[in-house]
């Protein structure tokens, strides 16, 4: 076990790079694209629209699995790139991370074949899912997952995560990243909630913009060797399936789709994002990969997106095999390409994709102009990335790969996000002389700290790659000394790649040990998972973990419940018995260190919930619910349970100090289209230690033609205050900020009264 020395106070620095680049004028790129396109055969064009996985050109017995160690099969590579003109390769091999130097070798061989053996010498664009760091590169710095970054309510962490990820991914020779996830995380059942920035559209929008800037640069500069092309996913409405399970149908009205789900994507498109991945599911019975309305009319025409539209894994094939809207794969290809798909993540059977699409063009079922539009977008991206001039970046040019400076940024993000939800009797912070029992299945696991998409798809190989980092147990031992720490799991995960399998592991011994310590640190939640394997039927914390918590509470010793989970698991049956509750989310490789610094007082917690934490599995309403979903004290002779009945509300989080809101001022009590208003409020640290406060500004439409939400978050800012210090926070609000989408799908601001609220203060304005 190795203690990585990191500063315990959050430092909001940016990683500075000195690599130079030369930007090409847009007109020059367009000229080059058109010239190259004019030289292409139909087969070469279709090849550019084809994307395959690395194992398809690997040295295995088939295209699905490669040998270990991995090597490229030169014949398979030549067939794909030279014979079928494949334009893109993605993914890792055998589902695990590779050393950066090996990435350089693999991609170097791919680019050498593409640029020296093909007729037009078009380089391949290589893509990867580097969603919280360069997740498939051994030795890379893994940040907290997006949901954790959202909990910081500090956009600088989103920017730093993306900037670092771009640098370290480019060090591997990879120039395209399938990130960020801008899906609205409004359903806690959804297995991919942890990949996004939570349930609030404004938070997702702000964080998403910063991620795009971190990946692509503040200007149109993706040809910089420390930048890459990002890819928004999953357009649109992917995260709210009716069942709560991945890739199952969603039912979303037009106004809800536009008001809640679309804004983050629109903002990122306006910021110049280079590519978009399409929703794998169905909306109102329509497969999104075959939706001309969503892909072409909405994304390409209305939003004016001029980048590359790529499918998700096998999703054109799924139009036939799963969704049954096409009798053949050829028909599925026609539907998707005519809907506006530019590149197909095949990812194995590229021969049939190529032959079928060529045949569709020759028969007139797909116009060659549609093919030209798709290929023009793909070639433009390759030119903008500088791949024709420099198809391979090398590790030797990236001295900060895996550096302490990058690790510091990852630690800062985790420390700023971990959220204190309960602290009865100010049990926290604990004394460093305390004797503690560390217990629970998440106590000694790097896998659970990182979650899915970490060194492997399901995150099941994390412990193999992150051995130098500290689990929660290891960090606590380093903090207060091994002699003060007992460890008994009580419950353990069965390490077979399935996150939900658990077993009892000396529960009796854990309870006995609890009687001889000052406090119990109980680490529960989930093991790692991603996508379909993360589907569940019960949002409650597992029965074994719940029983462990109850048994420990019966000892009478204070139990600090540490939640380490990708989505909120219901804890209502044990929460009253816990002295403190701390939510870590998925804090990454330095989450154990950050949590420990919070538990023992080196860091004052300042995270806030980026979602509503449900008390019950069937009460999963968001904070922006309708008034009819709130519980009334009485209704005649009856009292009704509420749909909105959270364990903890969106935006909730405690500190080791206290803050007072005062002096709420509004520049005008009337807002018009030409007259935005300024809202200011004073925040005072009334406690005895420095801390950070997330100042949130909400608006409430008191009456509207469509029943309004109870409230909506419009602005937020995180500030640091010393004891006794006061700061004034100012926000500007325009009439567009209090608008909503009507049943006609158009934004409208209706005349009437609105309430402004922040902290415990409220005031009213009117729109005219």
Active site residues: 312
Strand order, beta sheet including 659-666: 659-666, 677-685, 726-733
Beta bridge partners, 229, equal: 176
3-class secondary-structure state, position 628: helix
Q: Are 407 and 142 in contact (CB under 8 A)?
A: no
DSSP code, position 540: B
Strands, E, within 469-591: which ranges? 485-488, 490-493, 502-505, 519-525, 559-564, 580-583
Listing DSSP states for 17-58 in one string gives: ------PPPHHHHHHHHHHHHHH--HHHHHHHTEEEEGGGGB
Cis peptide before 234 (omega within 30 of 0): yes
Give the phi and the psi of residue 672 in degrees, each rounded to 5.
-130, 175
CB burial readout 256-293, b (16+ within 10 A) else e: ebbbbbbbbbbbbbebbbbbbbbbbbbbeebbbbbbee
- What CA dihedral angle connects 71, 275, 219 and 131, to 10 degrees? -60
Task: Determine the distance from the C-alpha atom of residue 758 to the mean position of all C-alpha atoms in its chain, rounded to a whole number.
Answer: 27
End-to-end, the C-alpha distance of the chain in Å comes to 64
DSSP code, position 687: S
Q: Are 559 and 552 in contact (CB under 8 A)?
A: yes
Give the phi and the psi of residue 223 in degrees, each rounded to 5.
-80, -5
In 139-279, which residue ranges form alpha helices assigned H by DSSP?
Answer: 146-152, 155-171, 201-216, 254-256, 262-270
Q: Are 561 and 580 in contact (CB under 8 A)?
A: yes
CA-wise closest residue to 741 among 201, 301, 299 = 201
Residue 260 CB partners (closer than 8 Å, separation 6+): 184, 186, 201
CA-wise closest residue to 174 among 249, 96, 116, 111 = 111
Give the phi and the psi of residue 335 in degrees, each rounded to 5.
-60, -45
Q: At what angle do helices 262-270 and 201-216 cross, to 10 degrees?
A: 30
Cis peptide before 703 (omega within 30 of 0): no
CA 108 to CA 123: how far, in whole Å?
11
CA 122 to CA 134: how far, in whole Å?
26
């Amino acid at each position: 076990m190795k203690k990585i020395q990191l500063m315990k106070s959050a430092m909001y620095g940016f990683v500075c790079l000195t690599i130079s680049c030369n930007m090409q004028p847009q007109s020059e790129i367009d000229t080059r694209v058109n010239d190259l396109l004019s030289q292409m055969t139909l087969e070469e064009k279709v090849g550019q629209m084809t994307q395959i996985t690395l194992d398809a050109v690997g040295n295995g017995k088939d295209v699905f699995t490669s040998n270990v160690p991995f090597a490229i099969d030169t014949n398979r590579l030549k067939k794909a790139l030279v014979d079928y003109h494949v334009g893109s390769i993605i993914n890792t091999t055998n589902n695990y991370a590779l050393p950066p130097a090996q990435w350089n070798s693999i991609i170097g061989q791919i680019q050498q074949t593409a640029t020296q053996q093909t007729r037009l010498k078009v380089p391949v664009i290589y893509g990867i899912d580097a969603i919280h760091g360069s997740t498939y590169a051994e030795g890379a710095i893994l940040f907290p997952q997006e949901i954790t970054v959202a909990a910081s309510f500090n956009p600088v962490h989103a920017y730093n995560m993306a900037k670092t990820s771009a640098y370290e991914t480019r060090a591997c020779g990879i120039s395209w990243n399938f990130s960020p996830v801008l899906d609205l995380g409004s359903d806690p059942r959804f297995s991919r909630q942890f990949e996004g920035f939570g349930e609030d559209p404004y938070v997702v929008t702000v964080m998403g913009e910063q991620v795009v800037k971190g990946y692509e640069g503040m200007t149109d500069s993706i040809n910089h060797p420390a930048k890459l092309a990002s890819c928004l996913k999953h357009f649109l409405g992917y995260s709210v399936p009716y069942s709560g399970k991945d890739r199952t149908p969603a039912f979303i009205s037009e106004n809800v789709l536009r008001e809640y789900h679309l804004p983050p994507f629109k903002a990122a498109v306006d910021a110049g994002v280079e590519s978009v991945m399409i929703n794998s599911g169905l909306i109102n019975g329509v497969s999104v990969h075959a939706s001309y309305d969503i892909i072409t009319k909405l994304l390409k025409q209305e939003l004016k997106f001029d980048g590359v539209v790529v499918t998700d894994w096998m999703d054109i094939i799924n139009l036939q095999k799963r969704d049954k809207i096409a009798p053949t794969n050829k028909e599925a290809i026609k539907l998707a390409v005519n809907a506006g798909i530019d590149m197909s993540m095949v990812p194995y059977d590229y021969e049939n994709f190529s032959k079928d699409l060529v045949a569709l063009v020759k028969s007139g079922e797909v116009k060659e102009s549609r093919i030209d539009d798709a290929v023009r977008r793909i070639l433009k991206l390759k030119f903008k990335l500088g791949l024709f001039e420099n198809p391979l970046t090398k590790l030797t040019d990236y001295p900060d790969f895996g550096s302490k400076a990058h690790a510091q940024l990852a630690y800062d993000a985790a420390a700023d996000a971990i959220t204190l939800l309960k602290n009865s009797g100010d049990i926290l912070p604990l004394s460093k002389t305390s004797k503690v029992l560390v217990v629970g299945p998440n106590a000694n696991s790097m896998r659970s700290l990182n979650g899915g998409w970490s060194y492997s798809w399901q995150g099941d190989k994390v412990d193999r790659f992150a051995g130098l980092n500290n689990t929660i147990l290891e960090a606590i031992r380093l903090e207060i000394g091994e002699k003060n720490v007992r460890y008994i799991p009580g419950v353990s995960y069965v390490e077979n790649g399935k996150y939900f399998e658990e077993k009892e592991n000396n529960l009796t011994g854990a309870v006995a040990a609890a009687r001889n310590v000052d406090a119990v640190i109980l680490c529960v939640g989930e093991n790692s998972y991603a996508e379909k394997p993360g589907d569940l039927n019960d949002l409650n914390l597992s029965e074994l973990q719940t029983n462990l918590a109850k048994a420990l509470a019966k000892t009478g010793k204070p139990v600090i419940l540490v939640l380490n989970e990708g989505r909120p698991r219901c804890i209502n049956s044990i929460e009253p018995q816990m002295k403190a509750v701390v939510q870590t989310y998925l804090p990454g490789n330095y989450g154990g260190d950050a949590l420990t610094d919070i538990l023992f007082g080196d860091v004052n917690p300042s995270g806030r919930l980026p979602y509503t934490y449900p008390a019950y599995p069937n009460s999963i309403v968001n904070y922006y619910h309708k008034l009819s979903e709130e519980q009334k004290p009485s209704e005649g002779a009856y009292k009704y349970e509420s749909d909105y009945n959270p364990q903890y509300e969106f935006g909730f989080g405690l500190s080791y100090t206290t803050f007072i809101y005062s002096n709420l001022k509004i520049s005008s009590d009337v807002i018009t289209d030409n007259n935005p208003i300024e809202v200011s409020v004073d925040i005072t640290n009334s406690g005895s230690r420095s801390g950070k406060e997330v100042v949130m500004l909400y608006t409430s439409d008191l009456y509207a033609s469509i029943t309004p939400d109870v409230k909506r978050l419009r602005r937020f800012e995180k500030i640091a205050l010393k004891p006794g210090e006061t700061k004034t926070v100012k926000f500007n609000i325009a009439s567009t900020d209090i608008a909503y989408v009507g049943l006609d799908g158009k934004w409208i601001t209706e005349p009437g009264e609105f309430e402004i609220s922040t902290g415990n203060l409220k005031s009213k304005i009117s729109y005219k």
